[in-house]
Structure 1
Amino acid sequence: MSTPRVVTFGDNVVDCYVGRGEMYPGGNAVNVAAHLSRFGARAAYCGAVGDDPAGRHVRDSLRDAGVETTRLRMGGGPTAFCLIGHEEGDRVFLGADLGVSIIAPEAEDLSAIAQGDAVHTGRSSRIEPHLADLAERARLSYDFAVVRDADRIGRIAPLCFLASFSGGDLSDGEAEELARSAREAGADWVLVTLGGRGALLAGPGGMHRAEAVAADLVDTLGAGDTFIARVLFGLLTEEAPETLLRAAAREAAQTCSRYGGFGPAAPIAVDRSRAKSLSEIYSTETTVRA
């Protein structure tokens, strides 16, 4: 494949660094789209933000990154945000609000996805009832994040070209077992990122491993999204697993050397009184429906 086209769908936020008074565009689907564009893919983002300073910052940052935003809705409420602190360079989530970011795919979104080679979304987008519709139209990349529920993996993995997991808390043996189980459930490729220990990728040719690349650690936010984007790009362009894993490790290290998942900073412009704890946000995983 020459230049893959990838549509990302769903979650977005502005990541607000309270100690710095700055906000950056973010969210898994947004970050993956921006990095795919940087790696050479034709990337498009489908999602919803508020018609407010935060939403305009997300929109403008995507456009500046070369991401198509034809299917970006604006208005109807506030842009989602996440409040972030740091401990020794590692992120600490202080609170969040989902704003207008949780939406169901519309017919025009599905048409845009059908024109692509792949579509990426994830757990944070809360569109599980619609994943089969996405997978019918393009190869599905899905970020499970820290979800390890066997029933949920069993439902989603058969739809996946690439299933990704965050496994920094897992031993090597546990990570390998997770990758094997998702492959056995039906995913073509399974990526498990391991933080400072690198990542592993399971596919038709077996299990492949890459060590982490040393980074000038400033902020780990967005490193996993960078890794996913580079692995997906490499798979779509038919790179060897060892090659694309090494490249993904290098790119993730670069993301760790700056603040934010990508893009420029802007002054924080959200209503912090709307913030809820992450336990409240994830106490229910309500999914959108048609």
Structure 2
Amino acid sequence: MQMKPSVVAFGDNVVDCYMDQEMMYPGGNSLNLATFVQRFGGRGSYIGAVGDDPAGLHIRDALMGEGVDVTGLRVLPAGSTAFCLIGNRDGDREFLGADLGVSIIEPQLRDLDQIARADAVHTGRSSHVDAFLPAFAVRARLSFDFAVIRNRDRIARIAALCYLASFSAGDLGDDEAKDLLEFALASGARHVLVTRGKEGAWLGLGDQRHHQPAVPTQAIDTLGAGDTFIARTLFGLLMGEAPRDVLSVAAFAAAETCRHHGGFGHPAALAVDCSKARPLDEIYGPGETATA
């Protein structure tokens, strides 16, 4: 693998709106991953869509400031940028609602061409592009964030295409998390990452299973920590690092993300129409909300 692996992240973006601060931060799994790959020394590219509004222009400017390739970013004059409203209940983060705006898009031929020139492509549950994953996977190594998807049929279909399949399993016990890892590997995923918050993370490949304890930190905000872990794991695997080293460095990187607000910083004054927000169950489906 070349010294600076290239990763194209396709799909979801939002501005995360902290209601108690009246501030917004660029975010979303795919957007965060492209940024973190760039920060880790790779070449991060982002393909997605934002509105031609203050929130969308802030996302664009933040990505450019981070050095992320935004040639695939669509700034659309009609429609608004996606957002997620975040509250604070007794010190705990609470997702209050969201609006997807113009963020859900289908890949164009030029997007597929860009993916074909990359070492890997990343997307996930929040991007709503399951139908296009086979086209992604034949062009580059596919990284997919399942988040809290538990449907075994869907996992089996997608995992068969994956270079890296990632799951968030803070809601599961240790045995359940291990079973999820084994199922995804048996379904065909080359590498499977299962993050469990304070309980650490598991990485499986072939007959190897590696566990990484969580790194203690003075957490200010955990938003983006899981995306950091996925990004550093993907980067490390593409670099040919040893699995234990991959997990260790990823855990420290995720802990560092918890030390500031927002996925990767870049605060701005809140500038969205909060009245457009819908409950997360309407967006993700019952049992698969971003709060898990």
TM bucket normalised to smaller: over 0.9
Give the Cα separation in 2 of the matches to 1:281 and 1:152.
18
Give the Cα separation in 2 of the matches to 1:279 and 1:124.
13
Q: CA deviation at 1:66?
A: 1.1
**TM-score, with length taken from structure 2:** 0.96
For residues 201 and 235 of structure 1, do their structure 2 counterparts lie closer, same or farther at Cα, with a shift above 3 Å needed?
same
Residue of structure 1 equivalent to 2:182: 180
For residues 215 and 151 of structure 1, do their structure 2 counterparts lie closer, same or farther at Cα, with a shift above 3 Å needed?
same
1:162 to 161, 164, 167: 164
For residues 79 and 46 of structure 1, do their structure 2 counterparts lie closer, same or farther at Cα, with a shift above 3 Å needed?
same
Give the Cα separation in 1 of the matches to 2:91 and 2:11.
27
Residue of structure 1 equivalent to 2:67: 66
Residues 106-255 of structure 1 mapped to structure 2, 5 A cutoff: 106-255=108-257
Give the Cα separation in 1 of the matches to 2:54 and 2:203.
39
Which aligned runs of 4 or more in structure 1 are off by greater than 2 angstroms?
86-91
Residue of structure 1 equivalent to 2:54: 53
Residue of structure 1 equivalent to 2:82: 80
- The answer to whether the 8 A contact 1:214-1:253 is kept is yes
Which AA in structure 2 matches 1:74? Answer: V
2:97 to 95, 98, 107: 95
Q: Deviations over 1:147-191 (max 9, x none)?
A: 011100111001000000000011111111100000000000000
Q: Deviations over 1:228-271 (max 9, x none)?
A: 00000000001011101010110111111110001310000000
Q: CA deviation at 1:205?
A: 4.1
Q: Count the aligned residue pairs.
A: 285
Q: CA deviation at 1:282?
A: 2.1
Give the Cα separation in 2 of the matches to 1:149 and 1:266.
37
Which AA in structure 2 matches 1:51? Answer: D
Which AA in structure 1 matches 2:54? Answer: P
* Partner SS, residue 245 of structure 1: helix
For residues 168 and 119 of structure 1, do their structure 2 counterparts lie closer, same or farther at Cα, with a shift above 3 Å needed?
same
Which AA in structure 1 matches 2:97? Answer: G
Residue of structure 2 equivalent to 1:264: 266
* Partner SS, residue 11 of structure 1: coil
Residue of structure 1 equivalent to 2:30: 29
Q: CA deviation at 1:215?
A: 1.1
- The answer to whether the 8 A contact 1:162-1:190 is kept is yes
Worse-superposed segment, 142-151 or 85-94: 85-94
C-alpha RMSD of matched pairs (Å): 1.2
- Alignment identity in percent? 59
Q: Deviations over 1:84-127 (max 9, x none)?
A: 01345542100100000000000000000000000000000000
* Partner SS, residue 137 of structure 1: coil
- The answer to whether the 8 A contact 1:183-1:202 is kept is yes
Unaligned runs of 5+ in 1: 285-290
- The answer to whether the 8 A contact 1:90-1:220 is kept is no
- The answer to whether the 8 A contact 1:89-1:219 is kept is no
Q: CA deviation at 1:83?
A: 0.2
Give the Cα separation in 1 of the matches to 2:101 and 2:182.
36
Q: CA deviation at 1:204?
A: 1.8
Q: CA deviation at 1:283?
A: 3.3
Unaligned runs of 5+ in 2: 287-292
Give the Cα separation in 1 of the matches to 2:26 and 2:136.
24
* Partner SS, residue 169 of structure 1: coil
Which AA in structure 2 matches 1:18? Answer: M
Which AA in structure 1 matches 2:32? Answer: N
